[in-house]
Copies of this chain bind each other. A is one copy, B any other.
Amino acid sequence: MQQTFLSLDARQRNNWREAFPNLVCGRLDDVSAATGLVWVLQPAGHGVEGLVKRLRLSLAGRLLVLLADEPSEDDAMAALAAGASGYCNGHAAPEVLQQVAMAVENGGIWVGQGLMQRLLASTARLLPAHKIADSSWRTSLTPREQEAAVFLARGASNKEIARQLDITERTVKAHVGAMLEKLHVGAMLEKLGARDRMQLSLIINGIEKQR
Q: In the bound complex, how far is the Cα of B122 from the Cα of A81, in angstroms? A: 6
Q: How many copies does the complex hold?
A: 2
Query: Which residues in chain A, 92-115, are within 8 Å of chain B measured between CB atoms?
Result: 99, 102-103, 106-111
A129→B109 contact, CB < 8 A? yes
Decide yes or no: A160 and B125 within 8 Å by CB, A103-B135, A198-B201, A205-B205 being known contacts.
Answer: no
Asked if A60 lies at the interface with its beta carbon under 8 angstroms from chain B, I say no
Q: Report the contact-size class of chain A (Cβ under 8 Å from the partner).
A: 35 or more
Pick the contact of A129 from B119, B121, B150 — CB < 8 Å? B119
Rounded to whole angstroms, the CA-CA distance of A106 and B206 in the bound complex is 13
Specify which chain B residues have a CB less than 8 angstroms from the CB of A108 in the assembled complex: 128-129, 131-132
Cα(A119)–Cα(B127), bound, Å: 10
The yes or no answer to A193 lying at the interface (CB within 8 A) is: yes
Closest to A84 in B: B125
Nearest-CB residue, chain B, relative to A199: B155
Minimum distance in angstroms from A82 CB to a CB of chain B:
10
A110 & B125 in contact (Cβ 8 Å cutoff): no
Question: With an 8 A cutoff between CB atoms, is A28 at the interface?
Answer: no
Give the CA-CA distance A194 to B77 in the complex, in Å.
40
- Pick the contact of A123 from B119, B150, B155, B208 — CB < 8 Å? B119
Q: Is the CB of B160 within 8 A of A193?
A: yes
Chain A 178-199, CB within 8 Å of chain B: the 1/0 string? 0000000000000001101111
A100: nearest residue on chain B (CB-CB)?
Answer: B132
Bound state CA distance, A193 and B156, in angstroms?
9
Residue of B nearest to A198 (CB): B155
Complex A-B: 23 CB contacts under 8 Å: A83-B125, A103-B135, A106-B135, A108-B128, A108-B132, A109-B126, A109-B129, A110-B132, A111-B126, A116-B129, A116-B133, A119-B126, A120-B129, A120-B133, A123-B123, A127-B130, A154-B207, A155-B194, A156-B194, A160-B193, A198-B198, A198-B201, A201-B201
